[in-house]
Amino acid sequence: MDWERIEPWDYIVDNVATDYARKYEMVERDDIKQSLYQWFLEHPNKLNEWEAIGMKDAKNLIYRSLRNQALDYCQLWKAKSVGYDVDDLFYYTPEMIEMLLPTVLSGDLVSMPQLNLNPNTGQSAPAESGNLVTMLVEVSAGFNKLTETDRHVLTLRFNLAYEYPEIAKDMELGSDDAARMRVKRAIKRLVNKAGGYKPFKDEDDVSPAVNTTE
């Protein structure tokens, strides 16, 4: 491992590893760090390319990639520790959260088999893979980690079935669009609290690595 190439970004490795070790208590922080160092080994050309466009932009891009690397690693460990197959990992989208929330908030488990969570995702249906109850538990746990304001707006929308004008009036937001945006942002935060979006995979450039330190 070329430590001199990685050392300028080691503070990002530390920050990301610490963050995800808190979110996934079954995974050791040092193991997450090793996974993040592996990203640098696998993407030398991408690192050179990003550093060439400026350190500020490189920092943002590296943060994004390392978060996805950590999420992917932790999700695999989570699958093993919970006891379901890695192939059954199910990543959340805002659309899934919207379909699951009425059941989570009402406790109406009768509607579970009727949920169609994967029309365009290419993932196996939770009801078929046996993970639907796990998903409901994760979404419920994520919901409880939200702020009181986020919980309130989601309860209005997905438990009490308020329309956006009613939400705007209840929360004194001023407009339907403001209410819609408040709901959208709360859903996005819930996606992250429940386990996050599906991580993307970085592909390194095929061109030979260039030593930018010379």
Q: pLDDT tens across 23-34, in order?
A: 777 788 999 999
- Provide the whole-model pTM: 0.55
Please report the pLDDT score of residue 207 as a whole number.
46
Please report the pLDDT score of residue 13 as a whole number.
95
Please report the pLDDT score of residue 211 as a whole number.
46
Please report the pLDDT score of residue 127 as a whole number.
42
Range with the poorest average pLDDT among 23-27, 51-55, 95-99, 101-105: 23-27
Band of the pLDDT at 181, cuts 50, 70, 90?
A: very high
Which whole number is the average pLDDT over 93-109? 86
Q: Is pLDDT larger for residue 15 or for residue 82?
A: 15
**Does the structure show a pLDDT above 80 at 171?**
yes
Tokens of 73: 């690693």
Write the single-letter amino acid at 46: K
Contacts of 95 (CB under 8 A, 6+ apart): none
CA distances from 60 to 65, 69, 78, 145, 164 (A): 9, 14, 27, 26, 34
pLDDT 10s digits, 36-47: 999 999 988 888
DSSP per position, the chain: --HHHHGGGHHHHHHHHHHHHHH-TTS-HHHHHHHHHHHHHH-HHHHHHHHHT-HHHHHHHHHHHHHHHHHHHHHHHHHHHHT--GGG-----HHHHHHHHHHHHH--GGGGGG----TTT-SPPHHHHT-HHHHHHHHHHHHHTS-HHHHHHHHHHHTS---HHHHHHHHT-SSHHHHHHHHHHHHHHHHHHTT-SPPP-----SSPP--TT-
Please report the pLDDT score of residue 78 as a whole number.
74
Which whole number is the average pLDDT over 97-104? 90
Tokens of 65: 């990639």
pLDDT 10s digits, 159-168: 999 999 999 9
Please report the pLDDT score of residue 163 as a whole number.
96
Q: Is pLDDT larger for residue 205 or for residue 177?
A: 177
Q: What is the CA radius of gyration of the chain?
A: 20
Burial string for 93-109 (b: 16+ CB within 10 Å, else e) reads beebbebbbebbbeeee
* Average pLDDT value over all residues in the chain: 80
pLDDT 10s digits, 111-164: 554 555 554 444 444 444 446 777 788 889 889 989 999 999 999 999 999 999
Contact between 146 and 104 (Cβ < 8 Å)? no
Write the single-letter amino acid at 212: T
Please report the pLDDT score of residue 130 as a whole number.
46
